[in-house]
Amino acid sequence: MNTSTRRKATRIGAQTTQMMLAAPQVVVQRLTRMALAGAQPSRADQREFQRMGAEKVAAFGESWQAMALQMVKVQQQFALSMLWGWKLPTASAWQGAALDVLGKGVAPVRRRAVANARRLQRPKAR
């Protein structure tokens, strides 16, 4: 694994760790809010509960779209390199391309999980 590929893997590992730490915090905050809301949730609670589902759909849709676009870019780059250079991409190039696709997929989900963890930890203004 070359230096560039190693850097990409380290960055994706850090982003995945951030996501893995933020997601359980968000789950705890939201489950607590659901339990405290009871059978008659307030309008603010209803908005938060609606937001939970909508943002998951949006984050995963954005993730899949970013990954698909990156895959198309990689395929075009590899096709052009084979067309102009008559050579196959190296194993390191394949690794780097796979990490680029993975990084594009992790970013939107991590961004939302971390933002939600921060937002939900703030004390509510009453």
Q: Which residue has the tokens 């307030």?
A: 42
Residue in 97, 109, 107, 89 with CA at minimum distance from that of residue 70 = 97
Count: domains in the chain: 1
Give tens-digit pLDDT for 24-74: 999 999 999 999 999 999 999 999 999 999 999 999 999 999 999 999 999
CA dihedral 115, 118, 120, 124 (to 10 degrees): -130
The residue segments making up the domain with residue 115 are 3-121
Q: Examine residue 63 and state whether it is found in any structural domain, yes or no.
A: yes
Q: Examine residue 113 and state whether it is found in any structural domain, yes or no.
A: yes
Q: Examine residue 12 and state whether it is found in any structural domain, yes or no.
A: yes
Report residue 89 as tokens. 């991409």
Q: Examine residue 126 and state whether it is found in any structural domain, yes or no.
A: no
- Judged against a pLDDT cut of 70, whether residue 125 lies above it is answered with no
CA angle 95, 100, 104 (to 5 degrees): 150
Global pTM value: 0.82
Q: Examine residue 8 and state whether it is found in any structural domain, yes or no.
A: yes
For residues 81 and 89, is the Cβ–Cβ distance under 8 A? yes
- Judged against a pLDDT cut of 80, whether residue 117 lies above it is answered with yes
Q: How many CB atoms lie within 10 A of CB 51?
A: 13
Q: Measured between alpha carbons, how far is 66 from 106 in angstroms, rounded to an integer?
A: 10
Q: Examine residue 45 and state whether it is found in any structural domain, yes or no.
A: yes
Instruction: Give the pLDDT band of residue 89 (cuts 50, 70, 90).
Output: confident
Instruction: Give the pLDDT band of residue 17 (cuts 50, 70, 90).
Output: very high
For residues 8 and 99, is the Cβ–Cβ distance under 8 A? yes
Q: Measured between alpha carbons, how far is 44 from 30 in angstroms, rounded to an integer?
A: 12
Q: Examine residue 96 and state whether it is found in any structural domain, yes or no.
A: yes
Instruction: Give the pLDDT band of residue 1 (cuts 50, 70, 90).
Output: confident
How high does pLDDT run on average in the chain? Answer: 93
What pLDDT was estimated at residue 124? 72
Least confident of 1-15, 36-50, 83-97: 83-97
